[in-house]
Structures are given as C-alpha cells and as structure tokens.
C-alpha cells in the first residue's frame, strides 16, 4: 500500500463522505515532507474526523512510533454551536477506513467534545495537527490552542475553513488566538480551504524550501498576521503524478498539457457602440487538464483588437467552465461581447484564461478570431 498509497487514496474521494479533497492532501504532504527533512516527524492530531477521509492523509504524516489522535463527538453532542456540518461521523467507519490504509497505526480515538479537553489529554509530541472541529469563534480558538499546546516547536497546524465565508467564526477565532498569544504561531501558507501555521520557533524557512522543491506549483504571495505567506490557488493535483508519488515524496507530472481548440459558430458579428452581442464559441479540450471552476478557475474570455491588430481592450468578462470540461469533451458556450464605444471595424479574439497563471495563447494555443463591425 505504501508505494500505491496516493493512487489508491484518490479513489477514496468517490466513496467516503467528507469535506476534503486530494489537493488539500497534497498540500499537507508537501509541507509534511519538508518538515520531515528538517528532522520533525512525530505524532499527529485531527479534531473533527467524521469518517476519516482527511485523517487518512494526516496519519500518513506520523513518524516512527508516532500516534494518530482522532477527536470527534460522533454525533453525541447536539448543541450545534458553529458546527461544520459533520455531526454524523461514525467511529466504526472511521476505524475501518484508517485500518485499510494504516493497519499498524497507533490510533487513539477520543469520542467527545474537544472543548472539554486539555493538552494533557493528547499526545505531547505532535508534529502535525488538522483543526476541523466546531466552527464558532470560541471553538476554533480553543482547538487551535489545544493543538498548539500539545505540539513540538516547529510543528505544523492546519486550520480548515479559515477564509470560508459560510463560517466567519473560524476566521474570528483564529485571529483572536494570534492576538492573544502573539508569536506562538507563524502563518506559512493558504490553499485549498486551509491555512497552515507553524509552531514557533520554526525549523528553517519552509516556504523557501517549498519554492525550491515545488517550483513547478504556481503560487502567489500575500501578507497575513505580519508575515508573508504563500497562496496556492491552482489544483495541486494537476502538477503531481499520483501513480509515482508517495506522501513522503511527490513526483512532478511528466506532461501537463494545456491545449484547447476554439471555433466560433458565426463568421462575423455586428453591434451598436457599447452594446453587447452574443457570439457562440465551441471549446474542445484537447489537453490533459480539466477546465474547471475553483480557487484558480478556467474561463472563456476575449480581447478586442483594432483592425490593424493593436489592442483596443484586453480584459473582459469571463464565462466560467461550470460544470467542468473534461479532457476530450467539447462544449458550445455563448459569450456576451461588449462592443467598443467607437464605431469601426474590430476583431474579437477568443481565448481561455487560467486565472492567476496565463492565457492559453501563451502556452501555444491558437485563439479564435471573429471580425466585429461596430456602427
């Protein structure tokens, strides 16, 4: 199972219920491997385990002899204080799922409310924690503190739903913790509905190591809590060969092909100045990457060129790929083009944009061009 862990684990997302995805798992594995290189790999913790979909990934980050600590009410607490919608977890299902991937794991299940726990109730050598329990400000603040107090210096703590607008209490609780215990946690990275922190003092510069080892994964930077953090917007799984990778070592995909064919359904278009005109465009996905909505989505858009080729208007509205356009599929998509304010002859250049990364013409794709007469 170890060599085939990721290849098998990705199948779990179609059969085990849980608000987690393979990109978040790879996010954990990437930073977990960097931490292991720094000499820190011990016990792991998850608060809010449900059926174990994410705990399978978290358990893979434990070190030799490290325990896997799972905390969940399993539906026994019906107060519904900022819960994340995971109150129907089942302990038997959890144990079965963990045993399938980690048969030798020292699994410690605490069936109860995390608010009643202290660090003494947990392993005292945590190197990775995933906080996904109650989503009120009070619960989040407590659970972060609980994980923090049981963590080793340099340990990683991931917080779920921090920037999810459906659960503002998570952001409030996280910020409260940072204000009331300054310098305890250092934010590292944001991605896939998680914020990743490191227990101070840090073990080296994990973000610098991330940029070096995973240079093929697109990232941007932001400032949070007085620190520069990395922001991962595109799907991590697009860049990783799951068949050749393990949680300890992620292998770059050999051929990430972004290729589309674009064809207008009309030979030309006319419009009044400043008015919209609808142009149907057929998009055929000939690449290996699904065109999908997400943190860094794909969209069909256009540029407006003057007749001689000079740019009239570069940025325009997107038509998103909802639902996903899988490799090999095609779709006729109506695009509402806003005509320039001045009368004249123009060219509409249709292209697919990967937000935050590139227009596909920059990757060698040919745009579709349609003459536009404005009068």
Residue 358 in any domain: the answer is: yes
Residue 249 in any domain: the answer is: no
Residues 225 and 334 in one domain: no
Residue 231 in any domain: the answer is: yes
- Higher pLDDT among residues 233 and 193, named by residue: 193
Alpha carbons 128 and 158: distance in angstroms, whole number: 8
Alpha carbons 67 and 48: distance in angstroms, whole number: 17
Query: Does pLDDT of 32 surpass 70?
Result: yes
Residues 219 and 318 in one domain: no
* H helical segments located in the chain: 5-12, 22-37, 53-59, 91-101, 137-149, 168-180, 206-213
Residues 85 and 205 in one domain: yes
Tokens 């989040």 appear where? 140
Residue 70 in any domain: the answer is: yes
Query: Does pLDDT of 86 surpass 50?
Result: no
Cβ-count burial of 283 within 10 angstroms (0-12 exposed, 13-18 middle, 19+ buried)? Answer: buried
pLDDT of 18: 80
Residue 354 in any domain: the answer is: yes
Residues 222 and 272 in one domain: no
Residues 63 and 188 in one domain: yes
The full DSSP string for 76-128 is -----SS--S-TT--HHHHHHHHHHH-TT-EEEEEES-GGG--GGGS-S-EEE
Mean pLDDT to the nearest integer, 299-323 = 94
The token duo for 240 is: 């990783």
pLDDT of 80: 46
Parent domain of 363: 260-374
Residues 273 and 146 in one domain: no
Lowest mean pLDDT across 197-206, 338-347, 350-359 = 350-359
196: which DSSP letter?
A: E
Residues 184 and 267 in one domain: no
Query: Does pLDDT of 81 surpass 60?
Result: no
Residues 280 and 141 in one domain: no
Residues 197 and 56 in one domain: yes
Residues 135 and 82 in one domain: yes
* CATH number, position 37: 3.40.50.150
Query: Does pLDDT of 27 surpass 90?
Result: yes
Residue 112 to residues 70, 71, 116: CA-CA distances in angstroms? Answer: 10, 7, 8
Lowest mean pLDDT across 49-53, 130-134, 197-201, 288-292 = 288-292
Residue 69 in any domain: the answer is: yes
Sign of the alpha-carbon dihedral angle for 47, 56, 88, 294: positive
Residues 229 and 306 in one domain: no
Mean pLDDT to the nearest integer, 182-207 = 94
What is the domain count for the chain? 2
pLDDT of 85: 46
Residues 187 and 280 in one domain: no
Residue 248 in any domain: the answer is: no
Residue 369, classed as helix, strand or coil, is: strand
* CATH number, position 279: 2.60.40.10
Cβ–Cβ < 8 Å for 134, 143: yes
């Amino acid at each position: 199972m170890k060599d085939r862990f990721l290849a098998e684990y990705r199948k779990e997302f179609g059969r085990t219920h849980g608000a987690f995805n393979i990109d978040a798992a790879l996010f954990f594995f990437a930073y977990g491997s960097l931490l292991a290189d720094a000499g820190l790999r011990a016990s792991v913790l998850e608060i809010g385990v449900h059926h174990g979909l994410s705990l399978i990934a978290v358990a893979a980050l434990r070190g030799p002899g490290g325990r896997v600590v799972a905390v969940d009410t399993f539906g026994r607490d019906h107060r519904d204080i900022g819960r994340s919608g995971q109150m129907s977890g089942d302990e038997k299902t959890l144990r079965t799922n963990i045993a399938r991937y980690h048969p030798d794991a020292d699994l410690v299940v605490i069936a109860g409310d995390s608010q009643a726990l202290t660090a003494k109730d947990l392993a005292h050598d945590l190197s990775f924690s995933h906080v996904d329990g109650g989503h009120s400000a009070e619960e989040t603040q407590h659970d972060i503190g609980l994980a923090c107090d049981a963590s080793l210096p340099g340990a990683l703590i991931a917080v779920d739903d921090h920037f999810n607008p459906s659960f503002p209490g998570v952001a409030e609780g996280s910020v409260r913790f940072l204000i009331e215990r300054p310098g305890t946690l250092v934010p590292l990275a944001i991605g896939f509905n998680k914020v990743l922190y490191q227990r101070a003092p840090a073990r080296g510069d994990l973000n610098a190591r991330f940029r070096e080892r995973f240079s093929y994964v697109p990232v941007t930077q932001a400032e949070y809590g007085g620190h520069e953090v990395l922001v991962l917007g595109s799907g991590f799984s697009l860049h990783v060969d799951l068949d050749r990778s393990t949680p300890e070592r992620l292998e770059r995909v050999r051929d990430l092909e972004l290729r589309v064919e674009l064809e207008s359904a009309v030979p030309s278009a006319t419009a009044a100045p400043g008015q919209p005109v609808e142009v149907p465009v057929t998009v055929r996905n000939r690449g290996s990457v699904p065109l999908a909505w997400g943190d860094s989505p794909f969209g069909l858009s256009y540029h407006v060129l003057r007749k001689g080729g000079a740019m009239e208007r570069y940025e325009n509205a997107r038509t998103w790929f909802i639902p996903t356009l899988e490799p090999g599929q095609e779709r006729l998509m109506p695009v509402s083009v806003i005509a320039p304010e001045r009368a004249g002859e123009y060219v509409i250049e249709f292209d697919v944009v990967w937000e935050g990364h590139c227009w596909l013409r920059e990757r060698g794709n040919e745009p579709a061009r349609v003459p536009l007469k404005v009068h």
